């Protein structure tokens, strides 16, 4: 199938590369020329395990193309995915200007061919109809331009036929053509991939959700996703559930899933805070409750709380949507509050041991919001750095990807070290912020010898605390 993906970020690029792997001809469009130029040369704008190889493979097979030219991208494409960003505005509402611009532009360049426009960007409930309206607006603008060029009068070669003129593209345009209404359907197809395992998640989703009232559009998407749904083309395992809903429900499924997962993390963090006061150990509690099938062990890791490009903005958006419809989402508000306070609690833990933080040096192990990504959007490390900086502490950090890439965008008030030994030198405390695999096997005894004070806070409860204590480190965690 011929597919266009508008927006070549974490979601768009992974979607495009995976669909190309399955044999589709995919054009990835982005309005950032540097990004597209890099992709054409095989340089990826993001860090995602396995993606570089997949992009290379797609390009080598002639199935994956990159362009800044949206009209060219959607030409001949039967399915057009919208995968542009929807970041949070200060009000908590998602910033929909990128979706709006793309929807209008798609409308301006649709032709007679039927297309399925798939919204993969996370957008508030009701946005599917809004996107449809914007596409129609774009198409109406284009039709108006065509009609005004007709009114300019007949052109050479069309004498005697007042309904003919040349189109902007140079072809002969008839009145009928100028007035045609585009044939398309809008489908919501929320994305559930996790950064760090995005390719695996795309090929092995727990379910694929499509929201639409158009059987034609649903049938086309079913065909596109068939290899994933029915484990073809080298994919193994059980068939993947295909969930068809109305547009609004598909949009809500995305928000509800993220709200549930974020609330689950805030729940275990609240339990952790009670554990600390009562002498219980949250890691044992999580095992004990996680074995209950009704609860499940996933997302029960107490720590610094959630961050990243999705949970914070999606919860804020859902709370705003609820308020717009006269409902106060108190449970979700509480989940957000617990999450924000979790960073503050970590600073208090440092204060309890180190007392005055002014003039102290704190080293952060990890900066990204989770391992195996370079994404710093709403990372807990950023809030921690700000808190510590305000209190007069010097903050240093080492992150496997950020340190190696030299990327410093969005980072201030922190010295990014190139290796973990330089990080430990002179520190009054180390805080493990992101549970990167390589932090499991560090020589903590050696790190302790380089520090001013051998204090380690494992803010993700991911290290073996008994083994660590034997290295001479004082170890604290979350919820024990």
Ligand X SMILES: NC(=O)c1ccc[n+]([C@@H]2O[C@H](COP(=O)([O-])OP(=O)(O)OC[C@H]3O[C@@H](n4cnc5c(N)ncnc54)[C@H](O)[C@@H]3O)[C@@H](O)[C@H]2O)c1
In the list 4, 5, 20, 30, the residue contacting ligand X (rule: CB under 6 A) is 30
Closest separation in Å from C-beta 104 to ligand X: 9
Q: Of the two residues 309 and 372, which places its CB atom closer to ligand X in the complex? A: 309
Q: Of the two residues 12 and 211, which places its CB atom closer to ligand X in the complex? A: 12
Q: Is 10 in the site for ligand X (CB under 6 A)?
A: yes
In the list 4, 12, 74, 88, the residue contacting ligand X (rule: CB under 6 A) is 12
Q: Is 193 in the site for ligand X (CB under 6 A)?
A: yes
Q: Is 225 in the site for ligand X (CB under 6 A)?
A: no
Q: Is the dihedral of CA 283, 344, 305, 436 positive or negative?
A: negative
Site string for ligand X, 421-460 (x = CB under 6 A): ----------------------------------------
Any alpha helices (H) in 326-460, and if so which ranges?
330-354, 380-390, 400-405, 420-424, 444-450
Q: Looking at 26-34, 244-252, 270-278, 426-434, which segment touches ligand X (CB under 6 A)?
A: 26-34
Closest separation in Å from C-beta 327 to ligand X: 22
- For residue 401, the cross-strand partners are none
**CA separation (Å) from 167 to 144, 157, 342, 393?**
12, 13, 61, 65
Q: Is 310 in the site for ligand X (CB under 6 A)?
A: yes
Q: Is 84 in the site for ligand X (CB under 6 A)?
A: yes
In the list 25, 77, 86, 189, the residue contacting ligand X (rule: CB under 6 A) is 86
Q: Which helix (H) or strand (E) holds 258?
A: helix 247-278
Q: Is the dihedral of CA 223, 227, 228, 229 positive or negative?
A: positive
Q: Looking at 97-105, 129-137, 170-178, 278-286, which segment touches ligand X (CB under 6 A)?
A: 97-105
In the list 127, 309, 342, 372, the residue contacting ligand X (rule: CB under 6 A) is 309
Q: Is 16 in the site for ligand X (CB under 6 A)?
A: no
State which residue has the least CB distance to ligand X.
9
Total residues at the site for ligand X (CB under 6 A)? Answer: 27
Q: Is 9 in the site for ligand X (CB under 6 A)?
A: yes
Quick check: helix, strand or coil at residue 130?
helix
Neighbours of 273 (CB within 10 A): 18
Closest separation in Å from C-beta 196 to ligand X: 9
Q: Is 173 in the site for ligand X (CB under 6 A)?
A: no
Closest separation in Å from C-beta 33 to ligand X: 10
* Catalytic residue (choose from 18, 275, 310, 427): 310
Closest separation in Å from C-beta 251 to ligand X: 11
Q: Of the two residues 87 and 290, which places its CB atom closer to ligand X in the complex? A: 87
Give the per-residue SS3 of 190-248: CCCCCCCCHHHHHHCCCCEEEECCCHHHHHHHHHHHHHHHCCCCCCCCCCCCEEEECHH
Beta-carbon contacts of residue 26 (< 8 Å; ≥ 6 apart): 3, 4, 5, 16, 17, 19, 20, 58, 63, 64, 65
Asked if 416 and 398 count as a contact pair (C-beta separation under 8 A), the reply is yes
145-178 burial code (b ≥16 CB/10 A, e <16): ebeebbeeeeeeebeeeeebbbeeeeeebeeebb
Does 462 qualify as catalytic in the annotation? no
Neighbours of 415 (CB within 10 A): 14
| Alpha-carbon gap, residue 282 to 161, rounded angstroms | 81
Q: Is 197 in the site for ligand X (CB under 6 A)?
A: no
User: Which parts of 102-141 interact with ligand X (CB under 6 A)?
Assistant: 102, 120-122
Q: Of the two residues 107 and 479, which places its CB atom closer to ligand X in the complex? A: 107
Q: Of the two residues 101 and 421, which places its CB atom closer to ligand X in the complex? A: 101
Pairing relation of β-strands 474-476 and 455-458?
Answer: parallel
Provide the CA 149 distance to its chain's centre, in angstroms: 43
In the list 79, 132, 173, 191, the residue contacting ligand X (rule: CB under 6 A) is 191
| Alpha-carbon gap, residue 30 to 101, rounded angstroms | 12
**CA separation (Å) from 111 to 76, 78, 104, 149, 177?**
9, 11, 14, 17, 10
Q: Is 315 in the site for ligand X (CB under 6 A)?
A: no
Q: Which helix (H) or strand (E) holds 272?
A: helix 247-278
Count of CA atoms in the C-beta half-sphere (13 A) of 407? 16
Q: Of the two residues 254 and 387, which places its CB atom closer to ligand X in the complex? A: 254
328 burial class (0-12, 13-18, 19+ CB within 10 angstroms)?
exposed
Q: Is 380 in the site for ligand X (CB under 6 A)?
A: no
Provide the CA 287 distance to its chain's centre, in angstroms: 29
Q: Of the two residues 250 and 393, which places its CB atom closer to ligand X in the complex? A: 250
In the list 19, 26, 29, 401, the residue contacting ligand X (rule: CB under 6 A) is 29
| Alpha-carbon gap, residue 396 to 46, rounded angstroms | 23
Closest separation in Å from C-beta 73 to ligand X: 9
Q: Is 73 in the site for ligand X (CB under 6 A)?
A: no
Q: Looking at 30-38, 168-176, 356-364, 398-406, which segment touches ligand X (CB under 6 A)?
A: 30-38
Closest separation in Å from C-beta 220 to ligand X: 21
Q: Is 6 in the site for ligand X (CB under 6 A)?
A: yes
Give the residues lining the site for ligand X (CB under 6 A): 6-12, 29-32, 35, 83-86, 98, 101-102, 120-122, 191, 193, 195, 309-310
Active site residues: 310
């Amino acid at each position: 199938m011929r597919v266009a993906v508008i927006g070549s970020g974490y979601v768009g690029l992974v979607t495009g590369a995976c669909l190309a792997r399955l044999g589709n001809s995919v054009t990835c469009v982005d309005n950032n020329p540097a990004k597209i130029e890099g992709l054409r040369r095989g340089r990826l704008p993001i860090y995602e395990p396995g993606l570089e190889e997949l992009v290379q493979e797609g390009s080598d097979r002639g199935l994956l193309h990159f362009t800044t030219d949206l009209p060219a991208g959607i030409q001949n494409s039967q399915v057009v995915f919208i995968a542009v960003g929807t970041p949070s505005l200060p009000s908590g509402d998602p910033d929909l200007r990128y979706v709006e611009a793309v929807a209008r532009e798609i409308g301006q360049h649709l032709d007679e061919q039927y297309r399925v426009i798939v919204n993969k960007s996370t957008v508030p409930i009701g946005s599917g109809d809004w996107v449809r309206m914007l596409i129609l607006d774009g198409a109406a603008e284009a039709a108006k331009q065509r009609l005004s060029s007709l009114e300019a009068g007949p052109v050479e070669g069309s004498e005697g036929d007042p309904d003919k003129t040349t189109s902007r593209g140079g072809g002969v345009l008839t009145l009928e053509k100028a007035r045609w209404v585009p044939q398309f359907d809008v489908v919501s197809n929320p994305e559930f991939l996790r950064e760090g395992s995005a390719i695996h998640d795309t090929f092995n989703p727990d379910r694929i959700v499509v929201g639409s009232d158009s059987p034609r559009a649903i049938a086309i998407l079913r065909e596109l996703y068939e290899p994933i749904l029915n484990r073809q083309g080298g994919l193994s395992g059980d068939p993947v559930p295909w969930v068809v809903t109305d547009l609004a429900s598909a949009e809500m499924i995305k928000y509800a899933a993220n709200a549930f997962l974020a609330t689950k993390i805030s729940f275990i963090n609240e339990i952790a805070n009670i554990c600390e006061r009562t002498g219980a150990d949250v890691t044992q509690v999580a095992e004990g409750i996680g074995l209950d099938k009704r609860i499940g062990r996933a997302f029960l890791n107490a720590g610094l709380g959630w961050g990243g490009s999705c949970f914070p903005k999606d919860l804020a958006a859902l709370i705003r949507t609820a308020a717009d419809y006269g409902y106060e989402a108190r449970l979700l508000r509480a989940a957000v509050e617990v999450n924000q306070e979790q960073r503050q609690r970590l600073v208090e833990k440092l204060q309890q041991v180190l007392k005055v933080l002014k003039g102290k040096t704190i080293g952060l192990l990890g900066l990204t919001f989770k391992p195996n990504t370079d994404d710093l959007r709403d990372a807990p490390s950023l809030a921690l750095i700000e808190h510590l900086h305000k209190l007069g502490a010097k903050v240093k950090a080492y992150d496997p990807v950020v340190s190696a890439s030299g990327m410093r965008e969005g980072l201030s008030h922190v010295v990014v070290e190139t290796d973990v030994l330089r990080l430990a030198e002179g520190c009054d405390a180390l805080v493990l912020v992101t549970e990167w695999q390589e932090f499991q096997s560090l020589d903590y005894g050696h790190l302790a010898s380089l520090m001013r004070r051998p204090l380690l806070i494992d803010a993700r409860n991911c290290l073996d605390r008994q083994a660590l204590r034997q290295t001479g480190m004082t170890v604290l965690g979350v919820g024990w």
